[in-house]
Amino acid sequence: DGRLVKAGGNVVKNVAGYDLGKLVSGSFGSLAAIVSATFKLLPVPVSSETLSAAFQDRDAVAAAVARLTDSQLDPTAMELHATHGPNRGATYRLLVRFATSPAAAAAQVEQARALTGGGEVISADAETALWRRYHGRTLVSAGTLVRMTWLPAALPHVLALVEEIARSAGSAELVARAAVGMGLFRIDGGVDFQASAVDRLRARADTVRHVTIQDAPPEVKANVDPWGPP
């Protein structure tokens, strides 16, 4: 109704009204427009190193993620990129970044390398270029792009579900925040298959939740609710 309301305070630990802030920001402008926000800032880390590890087996990469999340390591990013293509099966790439003091970053990346069973350590300009390429890439294609969430411990089941759909689609791609339990899933194939794949994901509430369409052909959106059941 046009009123100005305020939630929370200027102290980060002041969480009074925090749920209202989540509600408003999650509505993407449909409930209100955010006209002022307070952010917590951190200085740019002195040093950063990234471990890039490749896997051919979904159980192996899921086990590596589990070992990393169960450890005392403190990565600033843990990204899993899974691609499925016709006649070449599935490939998995895990990127684990540590940004802190030079000694701590070097020590943690070596511990992560031991937990994942190997991989390439990337730093300096090569690391900057790696993340620039990674963030600059796009999943949007002729297919349907879906956002979904899951319990981090359910990652093995999520990868199995993605592979199951990919086998029928011919090709698919997943970019996941491995330690958080959230990802973007691109589904290829015919329009009818893309629509049915979204329904299949939503039917697997034991594995993935909050399946929403980020981008899709108009024909898919005409047959599938982009937001799904509440």
Token look-up 């929403």 returns 212
Report residue 22's pLDDT band, with 50, 70 and 90 as the boundaries.
Answer: confident
pLDDT per position as a tens digit, 114-156 = 999 999 999 999 999 999 998 877 666 678 999 999 999 999 9
> What mean pLDDT do residues 213-226 have?
93
Nearest to 198 by CA among 170, 177, 218, 227: 227
- 180 compared with 12, residue with greater pLDDT: 180
pLDDT per position as a tens digit, 46-83 = 999 999 999 989 999 999 999 999 999 999 999 999 99
Nearest to 197 by CA among 218, 176, 223: 223
Q: Determine the pLDDT at residue 141.
A: 65
Q: What are the structure tokens assigned to 142, written together?
A: 């002729």
> What mean pLDDT do residues 205-226 have?
94
pLDDT per position as a tens digit, 158-206 = 999 999 999 888 788 999 999 999 999 999 889 999 999 999 999 999 9
Report residue 16's pLDDT band, with 50, 70 and 90 as the boundaries.
Answer: low
Distance (Å, whole) CA 91 – CA 68: 20
Q: Determine the pLDDT at residue 21.
A: 77
In contact, 66 and 111? CB cutoff 8 Å: no
Q: Determine the pLDDT at residue 142.
A: 72
Report residue 215's pLDDT band, with 50, 70 and 90 as the boundaries.
Answer: very high
- 11 compared with 94, residue with greater pLDDT: 94
pLDDT per position as a tens digit, 25-43 = 888 889 998 888 878 788 8
State the Cα torsion 18-39-80-119 to the nearest 10°.
Answer: -140
Query: Given a cut of 80, is residue 88 above it in pLDDT?
Result: no
3-state secondary structure the chain: CCCCCCCCCCCCCCCCCHHHHHHHHHCCCCCCCCCCCCCCCCCCCCEEEEEEEEECCHHHHHHHHHHHHHCCCCCCEEEEEEEEECCCEEEEEEEEEEEECHHHHHHHHHHHHHHHCCCEEEEHHHHHHHHHHHHHCCCCCCCEEEEEECCHHHHHHHHHHHHHHHHHHCCEEEEEECCCCEEEEEECCCHHHHHHHHHHHHHCCCCCEEEEEEECCHHHHHHCCCCCCC
In contact, 38 and 24? CB cutoff 8 Å: no
